[in-house]
Structure 1
Amino acid sequence: MNIGKSIRLERIVNRDTGRTIIVPLDHGVSVGPIEGIADMREAVTGIVAGGANAVLMHKGVVRCGHRARGRDVGLIIHLSASTSLSPFPNAKTLVCTVEEAIKLGADAVSVHVNLGDETESKMLDDLGHVTEAAASWSIPVLAMVYARGPKIKNEFDAGVVAHCARVGNELGADIVKVPYTGDPDSFATVVAGCCVPVVIAGGPKIDSRRGLLEMIRDSVQAGGAGLSVGRNIFQDAQPTELLKAVTAIVHENASVEQAMEMLGRG
């Protein structure tokens, strides 16, 4: 790995733990200005105060608050998009280039691929071109890879998720984001199939903080490199406090009970 990419990765991945806490804030394109991200500067400030390593957002809102008051945070610019209003919401298309992201000060870029969708070939082609361009600029790529399509019976199946992770790895991503498989043993097989860090997605809003913390703890114990979780963080009643508990688990190896004690409530 070249020095430029190494330096940028250290702005996203904690150099001491080899793990990361990424908070995606790209939901405005897919579902609109939902609760928690209406004011981007306020959202980022609270996220950074909680200890997140990086935020992820689309190019247009970088100017609205990509850096928090007080200190910097790693910036990942998302290159692909679709909306929930489309008849084909799983068909992601590129809306930004690696070069645009670099001009905006990105430390990394990200691409979303839905395996099994009718437009899978186009999304794979996009990922291949992005990793090629990113390599020439020494900028890391996060690949969000999910299984969503007519042939997919269970997108959380360990074999399916392992396939998703391996696709991101094989096509040149530096970090791969996939769903959690539900238990540490099965997720360990996902991690074992990759030679790059694997982080978990948060999925739909989880009602229980304990449930979220248990999922995160189990994933890192299985060898995962942390998380890239959006709504379950920024839509929490106290996202800064929740992130402090998440930080204790990811970077300090705290137990779920210790993290819950930090929150003081469920």
Structure 2
Amino acid sequence: MHLGKAIRLERIFNRNTGRTIIVPLDHGVTVGPIFGLVELRETVDKVAEGGANAVLMHKGLPRCSHRGHGRDVGLIVHLSASTALSPFPNAKTLVGTVEDGLRLGADAVSVHLNLGDETERDMLRDVGEITSRANEWGMPVLAMVYARGPKIENEFDPEVVAHCARVGEELGADVVKVPYTGSPETFERVVDACCIPVVIAGGPKMSNDRDILQMVHDSVAAGGAGLSVGRNIFQHKNPALIVKALAKIVHEDASVEEALQVLTEKED
């Protein structure tokens, strides 16, 4: 592996556990300035305090979120976008370059691909071009790969999710983000079919903390490399504590009950 890539990956992965907690903050392009993404420096402060390994955002946001103090956290610059206002919200287009990430001091870049969409071929081409360019610079690539389109009956089907992970791997990504399949047994099949780290998405905001902790616990037990979860963290009533609880599971192999105990701690 390119030395620069190895060094950057160690900034977004815990080098002792080989796992990561990534907090995406890129939702503003898709749905606007939702709760948790307005006071961005405050949000980054909180998730960094809790022990997040990296945050993920579009190229215009580091200027609104760089703190110059507090606990350090890795930076992943997202290169794909679409909006919920579009008649084709699943058609992602490139809005940044690998060089943008380099200039911003990013530790990785990320791209989004929706298999099954009518514009799948364009997104496949974009991901392939980004991974080739990133490899020249030693820049890690996180591929977010989902199945969303007319032929997709169930985007959480284990065979479909395994296909998503395999596409990310085969197109040259260094990390792939996919939905959780619902059980450790089915998710283990996804992980086993992929030679790069697999992290899970968080999806819509869950109704209680136990559900998100259980999902992460089960995915890690199945061999997953951690999580890339946005709304269930940055819209939590205490983002620092939920990250701390998740870190107990991801980096310390704690049980769900042990992680829940973290959430009873009082704020400093």
Interval containing the TM-score (normalised by the shorter chain): over 0.9
Equivalent residue for 1:160?
A: 160
Q: Distance in 1 between matches of 2:222 and 2:62?
A: 34
The number of residue pairs the alignment matches comes to 265
Aligned match of 2:13: 13
Partner SS, residue 110 of structure 2: strand
In the aligned structure 1, how far is the partner of 2:135 from the partner of 2:44?
A: 28
- Helix, strand or coil for the counterpart of 2:12? coil
**Does residue 107 of structure 1 match 2:100?**
no
Q: How far off is 1:72 after superposition?
A: 1.6
Q: Under a length normalisation based on structure 2, what TM-score does the superposition of the two structures give?
A: 0.98
Alignment correspondent of 2:183: 183
1:126 maps onto 2:123 in alignment? no
Alignment-derived partner of residue 95 in structure 2: 95
Aligned to 2:83: 83
How far apart in 2 are the matches of 1:70 and 1:83?
33
Which residue is 2:3 aligned to?
A: 3
Does 2:51 align with 1:51? yes
Structure 2 Cα separation of the partners of residues 252 and 62 of structure 1? 30
Q: Counterpart of 2:41? A: 41
| 8 Å CA contact retained: 1:5, 1:139 | yes
Contact 1:67 1:73 in 2 (8 A): no
Please state how far the C-alpha of 1:101 moved relative to its aligned partner.
Answer: 1.1
Say what the alpha-carbon RMSD is for the aligned residues.
Answer: 0.9
**Which is further off, 69-78 or 15-24?**
69-78
CA shift at 1:68, angstroms?
6.4
Question: Helix, strand or coil: the match of 1:60?
Answer: coil
Cα distance change of structure 1 residues 195 and 148 upon mapping to structure 2, 3 Å threshold:
same
How big is each residue's C-alpha offset from its partner over 1:206-239, in whole Å with a ceiling of 9 and x where there is no partner? 0110000000000000000000000000001011
- Quickly say closer, same or farther: Cα 1:110–1:67, change in 2 above 3 A: farther
Between the aligned partners of 1:55 and 1:165, the Cα distance in structure 2 is 21
TM-score (norm 1): 0.98
**Residue ranges of structure 1 left out of the alignment (5+ in a row):** none
Q: What is the rounded CA distance, in whole Å, between the counterparts of 1:68 and 1:111 in structure 2?
A: 27
C-alpha contact 1:41 1:68 (8 A) present in aligned 2: no
8 A Cα contact 1:45 1:68, kept in partner: no
Partner of 1:221: 221
Note if 1:239 corresponds to 2:207.
Answer: no
Cα offset, 1:205, TM superposition: 0.6
Match of 1:70 in 2: 70
CA distance in 2, matches of 1:217, 1:22: 15
**Structure 1 residue 259 corresponds to structure 2 residue 259:** yes
